[in-house]
Amino acid sequence: MRGFSREMLDLSNEDWVEVERYNECLERLIARRKSEIVVTGPLVDSKTAWKCVVLQQSLLYRITMLATGCADMWNAKNVVGSILIARALLETIAISKFIADELEKLVTGKQIDAIDELAYKQLFSTRNETQVAEGWGFKARSILTYIDKLDNYLAGVRDAYDFLSEFCHPNGIGHLSTYGEMNRANGTVSFSEAAPTILGIQGHVLNCFMMILFVERIMDTFDQIVLTVPDFEPDSGPWINDAALPRST
């Protein structure tokens, strides 16, 4: 089973049964991935549904690969590698929840144009302003926007994100405090792949990994959206001869 290895965890403050539950969730999410999206069924007459399912699978692949990488890095005793991926995992889950919540609201109001726009902009968002100015893609919002929205739902997310960010940056906490231990009495500094001062980081990494439990509901929302959208989208017939990636202008 993919995920965290029992042998590589300090279980004095962790419940292995819970960690196993996270690992099992990861396996279920991986099983939901598709190797190919074929334009059949509701996708034939609904380009919006097609965009939603493409976005869903893109996010699902990223989340499962990040979750797997987070655990693999921890199992390999690469603490900073695991922290870096844990933060990226938290970011991706934050934006995924935002999208799913927005889709639910828009579907309730049968706002097909807004659903299409949301999926489209998320599929082709970029921080490359030159690319956007040239008419390709859409300017991505700051990830902190999504982190703060998730913090409104689950208090403490922003604090956790900021804490992890300190280790992700090449600053004092991210290098000396992570790998070095200083003897202030004689000036000797001992280095290792994981300094004793960061032993407590395990719980923070697992808290990020645990959040994949939210992802199953997020994926369920996408599934329902894909089935529902064609019911109120204007019948325009098969669209697959249209350009799949039109310019943003």
Contact 30, 64 (CB under 8 A): yes
CA 233 to chain centre: 29
- What's the confidence (pLDDT) of residue 135? 82
Structure-model confidence comparison of residues 218 and 173, the more confident one: 218
Closest CA to 149 of 97, 90, 217, 210: 97
Question: What region does 72 belong to: left with phi over 0, alpha with psi -120 to 50, or beta?
Answer: alpha
pLDDT confidence bin for 237, thresholds 50/70/90: low
- The pTM (predicted TM-score) of the whole model is 0.91
Q: What is the mean pLDDT of residues 167-191?
A: 90
Mean pLDDT of 223-236: 87
Residue 225: what pLDDT?
Answer: 94
Q: Is 246 a residue whose pLDDT tops 90?
A: no
Q: Are 8 and 74 in contact (CB under 8 A)?
A: yes
CB neighbours (10 Å) of residue 23? 20
Going by pLDDT thresholds of 50, 70 and 90, the confidence category of residue 234 is confident
- Quote the distance between the C-alpha of residue 30 and its chain's center: 14
Tokens of 92: 């991706």
Contact assessment for residue 116 and residue 51, using Cβ atoms and an 8 Å cutoff: yes
Helices 213-232 and 79-108 meet at what angle, rounded to 10?
Answer: 30
pLDDT in tens, 102-131: 999 999 999 999 999 999 999 999 988 888
pLDDT digits (tens, 9 = 90+) for 80-110: 999 999 999 999 999 999 999 999 999 999 9
Q: pLDDT at residue 242 above 90?
A: no
Mean pLDDT of 39-59: 93
- Token readout for 104 is 């639910």
Ranges of beta strands (E only) in 65-215 are 125-126, 138-139, 180-182, 189-191
Q: Stretch 154-180: mean pLDDT, rounded?
A: 91
- Residue 241: predicted pLDDT: 62
Q: 238, 231, 220, 234: which is closest to 103 by C-alpha?
A: 220
CB 37 within 8 A of CB 49: no
**The pLDDT value given to residue 247:** 47
DSSP assigned state of 136 = S
